[in-house]
Amino acid sequence: MRKHRLRLVVAVAAVLVAAGAGTASPAQAHDTQSTLADLAERHGRYFGSATDNPELTDTAYTAVLGSEFDMITPGNGMKWYASEPEPGVFDWSAGDEIADLARRDHQRLRAHTLVWHNQLPGWLTDREWTADELRAVLKRHILTEVRHYRGKVYSWDVVNEAFNEDGTYRETLWYKTLGPGYIADALRWAHQADPHAKLYLNDYNIEAVGPKSDAYYRLAQDLRAQGVPLHGIGLQAHLALQYGYPATLEDNLRRFSRLGLDTALTEVDVRMPLPADAEKLAEQADWYRDLTAACLAVRRCVGITVWDWTDKYSWIPAFFPGEGAALPWDEEFRPKPAYAAIRQAFGER
């Protein structure tokens, strides 16, 4: 067990009591309890959480973030609008805060994300670009940002959400101006800037075998055949009880591994129609147990990241009105049945 987690787990127990957990169970409060990261490490995996800059002032929150997890992902601080708000003018403050936090707590960093169609600054979206112009802008951005974090990052989500649900390319600024080759270019430039970082393509609704995940499978085959530096596929796993569990998740992970690629569950949450009740929370726990087990069953599934760890800072209620309760801890930082289910999937008795 990592020494920093042994030191911090006492703080976690105190947080649970202070946050209203009251009489935390011995399994939650004992000062030698293994963290989720410790349990994952026994299987050669990581267990991580996303985080975002505004909540870092919440010391009760950062105590748990710094103890239970060995990988963190910046939710927003490395996206284009934050890192290059004006042409050629880079602002590393938000990203550096997360990187510094990871270093302080002896965690690794999944960097997110270099190329996306959302959260772009106005200077990119408010004008027309020629292919040569936009390609130069994209290359500059990737080389500059990846070089800035070189040596500090385990992996990059290089291209995010490139496909539609039917497996066709999403009509983004990048695709419409540069064609599908922008994906290979982005991967090559990221590798040039940091040859040691793992490079991922990342998307949602690709957990099950289907048209969208098939598109990634074909793209990955093509990129690998061309010698493009692609190392992994990130399955976001933003799941919802009302839409059913992706029963072919393990098969899907396995087929990407057969291409020589790592996989990771990168943005996990399991939302439900509110209010939450015991039945929904029990089903949610089953899903968290099953997705953890699916990753453990496939050797090249390297880890799991929840999209923040507490319902207090979940993105779900703002984007899916009437839904929520998606994470393993509730808004008062009390572990939910999902938390115990994850531990059980890792083999804790």
Contact criterion met (CB below 8 Å) for 77 and 44: no
pLDDT in tens, 272-285: 999 999 999 999 99
How confident is the model at residue 32, as a pLDDT?
72
pLDDT in tens, 92-114: 999 999 999 999 999 999 999 99
Of 267, 279, 283, 323, the catalytic one is: 267
Total structural domains within the chain: 1
How confident is the model at residue 203, as a pLDDT?
98
The residue among 151, 181, 154, 301 whose CA lies nearest residue 233 is 301
How confident is the model at residue 93, as a pLDDT?
98
Q: How far apart are CA 115 and CA 157, in angstroms?
A: 8
Contact criterion met (CB below 8 Å) for 190 and 142: yes
Residue 174 parent element (H or E): helix 173-178
Q: Could you count the other beta carbons within 10 Å of the beta carbon of residue 160?
A: 22
Torsion on CA atoms 202, 207, 209, 211, rounded to nearest 10: -50
Peptide bond into 35 cis (omega under 30): no
pLDDT for 16 beyond 60: no
Q: How far apart are CA 268 and CA 207, in angstroms?
A: 11
Which range marks the domain in which residue 129 is found?
3-345
Burial of 260 (0-12, 13-18, 19+ CB in 10 A): exposed
Q: Could you count the other beta carbons within 10 Å of the beta carbon of residue 26?
A: 8
DSSP secondary structure code for residue 322 in this structure: T
Question: What's the half-sphere exposure (Cβ side, CA atoms, 13 Å) at 291?
Answer: 30
Q: How far apart are CA 121 and CA 83, in angstroms?
A: 10
Residues in the chain: 349
pLDDT for 7 beyond 80: no
Question: 83: which 2 tokens?
Answer: 């890192």
CATH number of domain containing 144 = 3.20.20.80
Question: What's the half-sphere exposure (Cβ side, CA atoms, 13 Å) at 258?
Answer: 8
The residue among 168, 165, 230, 239 whose CA lies nearest residue 201 is 230
Residue 113 parent element (H or E): strand 108-115
Question: 333: which 2 tokens?
Answer: 């930082």
Q: How far is residue 263 from each of residues 212, 219, 296, measured CA to CA in Å? A: 16, 15, 11
How confident is the model at residue 210, as a pLDDT?
98
Active site (annotated) includes residue 161: yes
Residues ≥6 apart with Cβ < 8 Å to 82: 76, 91, 94, 95, 119
Of 84, 145, 161, 207, the catalytic one is: 161
Active site (annotated) includes residue 41: no
> pTM higher than 0.85, yes or no?
yes
**Of residues 21 and 57, more confidently modeled:** 57
Q: How far apart are CA 265 and CA 267, in angstroms?
A: 6
pLDDT in tens, 250-309: 999 999 999 999 999 999 999 999 999 999 999 999 999 999 999 999 999 999 999 999
Tell me what percent of the residues of the chain surpass a pLDDT of 70.
Answer: 91
Burial of 319 (0-12, 13-18, 19+ CB in 10 A): exposed
Q: How far apart are CA 149 and CA 232, in angstroms?
A: 19
pLDDT for 22 beyond 60: no
pLDDT for 13 beyond 80: no
